[in-house]
Chains A and B, each alone.
Chain A
């Protein structure tokens, strides 16, 4: 009698954890891969570094993971940031032009020397991220102080951003050959370097929101901004803050993405990734209308998105059909993990108790 009751309580506790559903989903997809894709779980050890499909998921998922961290906070306040893809492109262009300014002279100049850079790496990173933060500040000002609807406000930069990125590089793709920069997206220290960036940002953002009152204020503004206002919460500053953080994470994601392909391709870097990031947050269980959020769940959500893509490639879905297949999978995922289905899974524990 006691045991089932204990079980049901534990089950309830587990299923009420915000990480539970995204994690189950992730494991389900891995299980699918285990059944249908031979060798998916093989991990190679080359010179002490680990390689394999699993590792690829973690590495390729890092861009969306980074975006999802910032996006989670924005969505938790009841907003949305459509401009993150464009901000990625801007940050990549700034970084590119600082390392290889030849494009400004309107000449395509292929630098092949892997040690050449115009500015030192730390300047490159700091300036690129500073510009990304300015982008976030712009969005935040429009939303918090001009009271423009978040979707409209960030749409402006979403459209204008790629143009700005092109302007920065004079409309050219800048080749990035500087070796130390490529470490950001392609380096390997046992695990891919970009994964450490994700973990660092996750930890830093978690500490920043959960070890201060900021996380609670974000949630309270997202749930009921009028009540928050009457309670003395400066809801405008909170909104400004989350868009700035979102700009910063988009900037970092832009550096990772450009380091990956060794160019600052303003047309393609971060194209449509804002949608992946939003989906990752949704899979992570943060409501689009704002409120309670979990950063870890969002990052797992991003990994789910990547695992789906990777699995589709692995079973031979052609690249041009990938978006369609992904859409189908996403619909299935969302249906499967709708509130009704979740409640059903939660009730499993208590039903066992009755029997």
Chain B
């Protein structure tokens, strides 16, 4: 008989290393019966590795895992499941074309006379949903007809029903849910909690952490920062613990911005005159001065990336002219842009940015070498010198310049791409969503870098879905709506004004 204060799950001193990275460094974690425990941290903090160790995907090098007081060694996700540890991932691993009942009972359907007993399948599935999550839906409809939230709950019901799981791991389940659906999911989680299931909940949304959790464990760089009662820690404190620094950095940024705004030159570096492309972006005018950061604000698909691509030359404009240093541009190609001194960090880092099998060094010199041509190959020492310079300057976390770039975390990959473009010594740097999917700390670093580069006379176009970020970094903001440039603001503007411009003139 275990005592009541014994943990359902206890992980002690877990260590796990990957080539060049200590992913987990003596991390402790515990979970009570009927507890919702949030696991938070930036990208690369070690959250997913901890879950992988718990579910048997990765083996820890050191440390002990005990479930109900007994030591366990999960060998595989199946093994972990048979021990009572179930996981529901962000992407739902169910068959959308089958109906709900089939999905819940797949592989263990009740049989009658050698055939599947469909009426019983239906009853069992409906019962399971009612019992486990207290929801009643038509289980004979295909899964795909339901919202993502319901699908997720079906996945949860299946996970719990198979093994009567004691522990349920939810890995960012809310990232594709809207507010309503999230509340539905939370209701189901509370029901499970009442039934004594321990839930590990991973999320990036701080407000959800406070909505649902009992305790919070913070990881940073593979180390345990601490475990806190949710009531005992404020949001600001929590964020500070996650990013490991105070928020005063943000104040520092606004002073840099103020400083750099004095450096803006009056002459125009890049000028777009009635520049447009059919079915991409309506003709627009835009001026860029050296030392200036121009932000592009607007919703996804409003034409932000299209402006970037046309300015860079990745897309050929149908109308209008681009003037660079007063001369009209004729060669609309990426190479032409690089030769002029224009650089573009594209929006989709994986598909258009990194070359994942190449090393950090090769990724950094790629654009520079393309500019040099086929036969003016940089000597190896020069390549290393350039790579090492930017690894140090941008603080890229990599064991060496010879590491394939795919082994780096998202934020560091983004820095490698930045390095690739900085190495070409551009005069105009176009950044399309440079901070998407990277952690808070690196975000701040990149924003600061943009302002510092502007201070040195570079001209930047900064595109981001996060309005706050655009406001923080830009000297001037152009607002886009439905493939058209609708407004431009310079000087101090508040978020509200811009949001109104994005929304249109309904006021």
- Give chain A's interface residues, CB within 8 Å of chain B: 211-214, 216-217, 219-220, 223-224, 226-234, 291-292
Interchain CA distance A292-B356 in the complex, whole Å: 11
In the complex, whether B119 has a CB less than 8 A from a CB of chain A is no
Q: A213-B374, A227-B353, A231-B420 are in contact. List 7 more A-B contacts (CB 8 A).
A: A216-B366, A219-B355, A224-B355, A224-B356, A230-B314, A230-B353, A231-B370
Closest to A215 in B: B377
Would you call B171 an interface residue if the criterion is a C-beta within 8 Å of the partner chain's C-beta atoms?
no
Please tell me which one of the listed residues B346, B353, B357 contacts residue A292 in the complex, with CB atoms under 8 A apart.
Answer: B357
Q: Is B357 a contact of A231 with CB atoms below 8 Å?
A: no
Looking at A211, A214, A228, A291, the one whose CB has the most chain B CB atoms below 10 A away is: A228
Q: In the complex the two chains form, is B375's CB within 8 Å of A213's CB?
A: yes
Q: Which B26-85 residues have C-beta < 8 A from chain A?
A: none
| Chain B residues near A234 (CB-CB < 8 A) | 335, 370
**Can you report 28 A-B residue pairs in the complex whose CB atoms are below 8 A from each other?**
A212-B374, A212-B377, A213-B369, A213-B373, A213-B375, A213-B377, A214-B374, A216-B366, A216-B369, A217-B369, A223-B355, A223-B357, A224-B355, A227-B355, A228-B355, A229-B314, A229-B334, A231-B355, A231-B367, A231-B370, A232-B334, A232-B335, A232-B337, A232-B338, A232-B367, A233-B366, A233-B370, A291-B357
Q: Is B362 interfacial (CB-CB < 8 Å)?
A: yes
Given contacts A223-B356, A232-B335, contact A216 B420 (CB under 8 A): no
Query: For residue A214, which residues in chain B have a CB less than 8 angstroms away from its CB?
Result: 374
CA–CA, A230 and B367, complex, Å: 8
Q: B354–A228 contact, CB under 8 A?
A: no
State whether A224 and B354 are in contact (beta carbons under 8 Å apart), knowing that A213-B372, A229-B334 are contacts in the complex: yes
On whether the beta carbons of A230 and B357 are closer than 8 Å, the reply is no
Near A by CB (< 8 A), chain B positions 313-335 give 314, 333-335
Among B335, B344, B371, B378, max chain A CB count under 10 A is at B335
Q: How far is the CA of A234 from the CA of B134 in the complex (A)?
A: 59
Mark contacts of B339-375 with chain A using CB atoms, 8 A cut-off: 1 yes-contact digit, 0 otherwise.
0000010100001111111100010001101111111
Across the A-B interface, the 9 shortest Cβ-Cβ residue pairs: A232-B370, A232-B335, A231-B367, A232-B338, A213-B377, A231-B366, A232-B334, A220-B355, A233-B370
Instruction: Give Cα A292 to B353, complex, Å.
Output: 18
CA gap between A7 and B183 in the complex, in Å: 56
**A234 vs B346: C-alpha distance when bound (angstroms):** 17
Could you say which residues of chain A place their CB within 8 Å of the CB of B351?
224, 226-227
Min distance, Cβ A112 to any Cβ of chain B, angstroms:
49
How far, in whole Å, are A145 and B373 apart by their CA atoms in the complex?
Answer: 20
Across the two chains, which residue of chain A brings its CB closest to B348?
A226
Contacts of A231 in B (CB 8 A): 334, 355, 366-367, 370, 420
Report the bound CA distance from A211 to B420 in whole Å.
Answer: 21
Chain B, residues 395-427, CB within 8 Å of chain A (1/0): the string is 000000000000000000000000010000000
Measured between beta carbons, the chain B residues less than 8 angstroms from A223 are 355-358
Residue of A nearest to B367 (CB): A231
